[in-house]
Amino acid sequence: MNAHDTSIDVTAYFARIGFFGPARPAPTLDTLRALHLLHPQAIPFENLDVLLRRPVRLDLASIHRKLVDGQRGGYCYEHNLLFRSVLQTLGFRVRSFAGRVLWGREAADMPPRAHMLLLVDLDEGTFLTDVGFGGMTLSAPLALQTGLEQITPHGAFRLADAEPSGYILEALVNGAWARVYRFDLDPQYDADYEMANHFVSTYPQSIFVHNLLAARLAPGKRLALLNRRFSTHDEREGSAQHPLNDAAALRRVLQNDFGIRLPDDGELDAALGRLPNQA
């Protein structure tokens, strides 16, 4: 896939995310903020193809068919490659990078570069832009500036300096800063994402291979699914967990809460039935 391919149906994408502004909005910070907020509320994070042992294709036509036309979701490469193409079509200056996931990780060793993220260069400065990090997906771009608490529609984030170089994205969770991922400014190319995509979708120890994951943002809420545990975090009502005991319950949540158009075949029910009882 050509990194500068802009053959995206922006009109269909805008309909998918519920953007009702101009047909070709100007490449401004306001436009970026509007699209960044809508995207993760409309297009869920999910790994059903990996769970079903189906290939995750990163060419733009396949991503468009799946995430836009097919009412499906995807993971970071699919989300951010789609978002990058939309932004480039609108005239934004976008650069592509990779991050090392630290979220939920206690091990001291350095994880691989397995996450895709974007930087968008505007007159106001450079902004971290990322619509594909599961349950902690950003709902707004962040200024690429360390030591600054930045409030988004879904919580506070900040960037810290990483040693020996680069940045660490942190989120304010229950009154404490938690590390999300680290990244540097070593440019990444589509071939790098193809290799990383193959790794995370096939490596036996990859979290995506044997687990069901889904996430979506809603106004004032974060929704997340890990195997049979459905979690919700509401800014007013707090956090709650809802165990899902069978494939039918999982199907209902995936369809109704995450908005995923599910394949109606026995393979999905069999895969859902194999999920562990405890996430």
Query: What does the alpha-carbon distance between residue 114 and residue 99 come to, in Å, rounded to a whole number?
Result: 6
Asked if 198 is an active-site residue, the reply is no
Catalytic entry in 36, 64, 76, 154: 76
Q: Give CA 11 to chain center in angstroms.
A: 21
Token representation of residue 74: 């995807």
Asked if 121 is an active-site residue, the reply is no
Residue 125: CB atoms within 10 A of its CB come to 11
- Which letter, b or e, does each residue of 80-119 get, where b requires 16 or more Cβ atoms within 10 Å of its Cβ? bbbbbbbbbbbebebebbbbbbbbeeeeeeeeebbbbbbb
Catalytic entry in 39, 79, 130, 154: 130
Asked if 76 is an active-site residue, the reply is yes
Our CA angle for 143, 223, 229, nearest 5°, is: 135
How many residues does this entry show for the chain?
Answer: 279
Catalytic entry in 64, 79, 115, 154: 115
The catalytic site residues sit at 76, 115, 130
